[in-house]
Amino acid sequence: MSYENVIELRDLQRYYQMGAETVKALDGVDLEIKRGEYISIVGPSGSGKTTLFNLVGGLDKPTKGSVFIDGVDISQLDAYELAWLRCRKIGYIFQSFNLIQVLTALENVSLPTVFAGTPHDEGLKKAEKLLDQVGLGERLHHRPTELSAGQQQRVAIARALANDPSIILADEPTGNLDLNTGMEIIDLLHGLNKMRGLTLVAATHDLKMIKASDRIVWMRDGMVEKVERG
C-alpha cells in the first residue's frame, strides 16, 4: 500500500533552551506533502527552515508534535530504524555539499549503498550509472577538491539517489553556486522530481528554485505563514 501523503507534520514544535530563555525555532507546524510533490520552503533566516529540514530528516527530535514519513511517526523509531530511514528513505543534499574529501566521486556515491548492505561491486556499478545520469560519467575517479562547485553538488545529488529514496531533502542546494550552475542544478533536481516521481523538499532563497516548485511554504517565526501554489 502506498500513502498519498509521504510526509505529514502534526503540530510540530521544537524549542531550544538558550540560558534562561526558550527559543521557539518551530512553533506548531502542520503540513502535508504528497508523493511526487516539489515543495519549496521559504523564509528569512531564523524562520525555522533548517530546523524543519532536520526534523523531517530524522536528524533531530521534536519537542512536541510528530513527523510522519509514509504513515510512521518517526519519533517512535529506535536508533537502528532511524538510521535505516536516513539510509533508504531520504536523500540529503546540503548547501556545502558535504562530500567525503578523501573519497573519489564514485566512492562518495557508493557510500550509502554500503550502509544499505548492497554488495560492493553492485554499489559501484550503481554509483557509476548515477554519476553518468548527473553528467559526470567522465569524472568518476576525481576527488571533491578536483571538481568545481557545480560538479560537487552533482556528486552530492547522485549520492542522495544512491539508495532510491522516496524523499529528497535539500537545504539551500544552490546557495554556494553561481547563477548558471545553480540553474543547472535546479533543472537536474526538477527533472528527477518529475521523472522519478521523487518527493522534493527544498529550503531555499533562490527565486528560480521557488518558481519551479509545485507549492511554496512561507515560514516566519517558526510558523507557516502561508502556502502558495507554484
Partner 1 sequence: MSDQWYEMNEEAPRRVQFTLMDAVRLGHEYIRRRLDRSLINIASIALGLSFYTTMVISDLLYSTSARLGGGQVAVESYQYWLVAVALVVSIVGITNAMLIAVYERYREIGTMKCLGALDKHIVLLFLVESFYQGLLGGLIGFTLGLASAMVITGFAAGFDIVLYAPKLSLLSIFAGSVSLATALSMVATLYPAWRASKLNPVEALRYEL
- The residue ranges that bind partner 1 (CB under 8 A) are 1-3, 54, 57, 59-60, 70-72, 76-77, 79-81, 83-84, 86-88, 92, 94, 98-103, 107, 111-112, 114-117, 120, 159, 163
CB nearer to partner 1: give 144 or 216.
144
8 Å CB contact between 106 and 129: no
In one-letter notation, the amino acid at residue 190 is H
CB nearer to partner 1: give 70 or 214.
70
Q: Which residues are within 8 A (CB) of 12 and not within 5 positions of it... i.e. 6 or more apart?
A: 26, 28, 29, 30, 31, 52, 55, 62, 64, 65, 66, 67
- As measured in angstroms, the least distance from the Cβ of 125 to partner 1 is 16
CB nearer to partner 1: give 83 or 207.
83
- As measured in angstroms, the least distance from the Cβ of 121 to partner 1 is 12
In which element (H, E) is residue 170 found?
Answer: strand 167-171
CB nearer to partner 1: give 98 or 133.
98
C-alpha cell at 191: 527533472
- As measured in angstroms, the least distance from the Cβ of 229 to partner 1 is 29
- As measured in angstroms, the least distance from the Cβ of 55 to partner 1 is 10
CB nearer to partner 1: give 1 or 18.
1
- As measured in angstroms, the least distance from the Cβ of 109 to partner 1 is 11
